[in-house]
Amino acid sequence: MAKAARGERRQEILEALARELEGRPGARITTARLAAVLGISEAALYRHFPSKASMFEALLDFAEHTVFSRSRRVAEQALSLSEAVRAMAELLLTFSDRNPGITRVLLGEAVMGEKADVRERAGRYFERAETELRQLFREAALDPERATAVPASVAAGLVLAFVEARMSRFSRSGFRHSPLSGWEDQWRVIESGLFGRPGE
């Protein structure tokens, strides 16, 4: 029971941090502020997380597990290349839409004043996403009927740049403009450029 209660308290802390990041865009979230929001002492906070950096790392763990466990399923499905790339991009954008506070961490905005390793860890999220996109294009290149004229690294970089830009706009707007807003129409433009005709 004690272990379960400890896990629940850790979850409460992370949820409170995510809400603060969402509700106070641009503001630096201190442990004193977070403890006050939770109605506990900073000492109690540190019993669950040794540092604020470890809290950010836990949020990054959650983002990576949620997104990349699902991205593996996308890669395993019998989808056309355009369908797989679209599914991967939608996965990244949907996670951002549902987790505004964590989006600030992923973009590096919320961890600017933190240790370098935390900032680097946030950057690796996008590196991994680009690697998985690149793998989709490389696997398709082995099949002449699925290959695109665009090199895998170029195509993956283009899709990721688009996703990251929409996430940045979402954060910059104070989370008023969903990263999924207008997605269907914009995807058709990207799809046409990468695959020749929509759906290929």
Q: What is the pLDDT along the chain (200 residues), one digit of tens a residue?
A: 355 467 788 999 999 999 999 998 777 888 999 999 999 999 999 999 999 999 999 999 999 999 999 998 887 886 888 999 999 999 999 999 999 999 999 999 988 877 888 889 999 999 999 999 999 988 877 776 666 778 889 999 999 999 999 999 999 999 999 999 999 999 999 998 888 754 44
Question: What is the reported pLDDT for 27?
Answer: 76
Q: Name residues whose C-beta falls within 8 Å of residue 32's C-beta, 6 or more positions apart in sequence.
A: 42
**Cα atoms found within 13 Å of the Cα of residue 20, Cβ hemisphere only:** 22
In whole angstroms, what is the distance from residue 122 CA to residue 59 CA? 10
In whole angstroms, what is the distance from residue 37 CA to residue 34 CA? 5
Name residue 105's amino acid.
Answer: V
Question: What is the reported pLDDT for 75?
Answer: 79
How is residue 188 written in tokens?
A: 């058709």
Question: What is the reported pLDDT for 149?
Answer: 72
In whole angstroms, what is the distance from residue 84 CA to residue 94 CA? 15
**Cα atoms found within 13 Å of the Cα of residue 184, Cβ hemisphere only:** 0
